[in-house]
Amino acid sequence: MSSLQGKRILLGVTGSIAAYKAAEWVRSLVKEEAMVTVVMTRSAERFVAPLTFSALSGNPVYRDMFADESERVMAHINLSREADVILVAPATAQTIARLSMGLADDLLATVILAARVPVVFCPAMNSNMWAHPATQENIKRLQHFGYHLVHPDSGTLACGDVGDGRLPEWDVARETLLALFEPDDLIGKKVLITAGPTREPLDPVRFLSNRSSGKMGFALARTARRRGAEVTLITGPVSLPDPPCMEVIRVTTAEDMEKMVMSRASAVQVIVKSAAVADFKPAACQVHKIKKTSQGLHLALEKNTDILKKLGENRKHGQILVGFAAESRDHAGEGLRKLQEKNLDLIVVNDILGTQTGFDVETNQVTLIDRKGSAVLPLLTKEDTANRIWDSVVSLLHKRGGDAG
């Protein structure tokens, strides 16, 4: 289930060429079963017809403060009361200026002024207009009022100029919306998460690896960010795109991962090692492709460093260390053994034999084991599983008094 399911989103569309992209956003929201109502300014209608938004949202589009009986009496009050969040996208320099002055000169402005729900602005405009001190002052005023801002993207704009001013990507705006519905209990915390498999090269074309898709680790990274953490994600080779608003470091081998993890470990308060690191690597990587022979091939393997164990031996005072365990039997016993052996605070044990759990699926069913006991979680999406892991981490941080600065 998406966390946007059932959420009432009021989308304010203003007069920018990027208005057509907002139509795509409506499609994405509806796909996640959010309930979308669109309010358009007069100039937005010059770029996209209201019919487009009503067809995509399945709801009437509101445009006029003084509409006839076919629209609603006191539309501005009702619309602001019926939304869980207001998203203004694209937000033009003109709309940003009007709202920064508290002007209530059209339906969208009055809805926003009357609202008691979070408002998110996604600006889109020419880069000089964005950089103008007046716009920057107006943006500061909006933020001072408690409104949220998704910074515009950089790139080539519709006018041909290059710079800041493009409507942000949907994924970035979506993460901002999702964060509004999550607790902000990881604010001020730096977390390091590892994800995906590692690849251990055998020759120029072959490697040893495993079936990890990175989905569990990426879900941990996104959910931590939504809860306010500053996230560093170190991932082995996966086909997932970089999650927004965090540092993403891509590595290949266990040795690369070890170097990156150890270089960042002392700066963070929480480490979660969900990566499926190869335990062994070929003793030598051949420079040339290994030729087929009539006999079989005997591979000499050597052990990789156990990164998690090394972290457990070297961790700083107060740091929370979370490991994963991929097990096919004696889950509780193996989990407890790894918790103690690697000096962890929490271990997340996956059952890798289930068809809906573990490697390369959308869901997971895990057991959380800490030093006080264990909890078996139901089958959940990987994002919901990640949130349950963060709940446990937050409670461990509280018990520790958050002194891992």
Determine if 171 is a binding residue for ligand PMT (CB under 6 A): no
Is the distance from CB of 86 to CB of 10 less than 8 angstroms? yes
Is 312 among the residues that bind ligand PMT (CB under 6 A)? Answer: no
Q: Which residue lies nearer to ligand PMT by CB, 124 or 389?
A: 389
Of the listed pieces 28-36, 73-81, 135-143, 214-222, which binds ligand PMT according to CB under 6 A?
214-222
H or E element in which residue 304 lies: none
CA nearest neighbour of 29 among 12, 5, 64, 60: 5
Q: Can residue 214 be called a binding residue for ligand PMT (CB under 6 A)? A: yes
Among 13, 326, 389, 393, binds ligand PMT (CB under 6 A): 326
Residue 216 near ligand PMT by CB under 6 A? yes
H-assigned helices in 115-247: 127-131, 133-144, 170-180, 215-226
Interface of this chain with ligand PMT, residues 343 to 382, rule: CB under 6 A? 350, 358-360
Is 274 a binding residue for ligand PMT by CB under 6 A? The answer is yes
Question: How many residues touch ligand PMT (CB under 6 A)?
Answer: 27
Structure letter (DSSP) for residue 168 = P
In this structure, what token pair is assigned to residue 275?
A: 């990566």
Query: CA 253, CA 276: separation in Å to the nearest integer?
Result: 11
Q: Is 338 helix (H, G, I), strand (E, B) or coil?
A: helix
Contact region with ligand PMT (CB under 6 A), list: 17-25, 79-87, 99-107, 320-328: 320-328
The DSSP output letter for 362 is: S
Residue 126 φ/ψ, nearest 5 degrees:
-60, 145
Residue 71's nearest CA partner among 83, 80, 61, 81 is 61
Binding segment for ligand PMT among 169-177, 200-208, 283-291, 319-327 (CB under 6 A)? Answer: 319-327
Nearer to ligand PMT among residue 90 and residue 323 (C-beta): 323
Q: How many CB atoms are closer than 10 A to CB 343?
A: 15
> Which of 185, 256, 306, 370: binder of ligand PMT (CB under 6 A)?
306
Complex with ligand PMT: residue 88 or 325, whichever CB lies closer: 325
Residue number, 84 or 255, with CB nearest to ligand PMT: 255
Which of 354, 349, 336 shows the shortest CA–CA distance to 274? 349
Catalytic residues: 159
Interface residues with ligand PMT (CB under 6 A) are 196, 212-217, 254, 273-277, 279, 304, 306-308, 323-326, 338, 350, 358-360
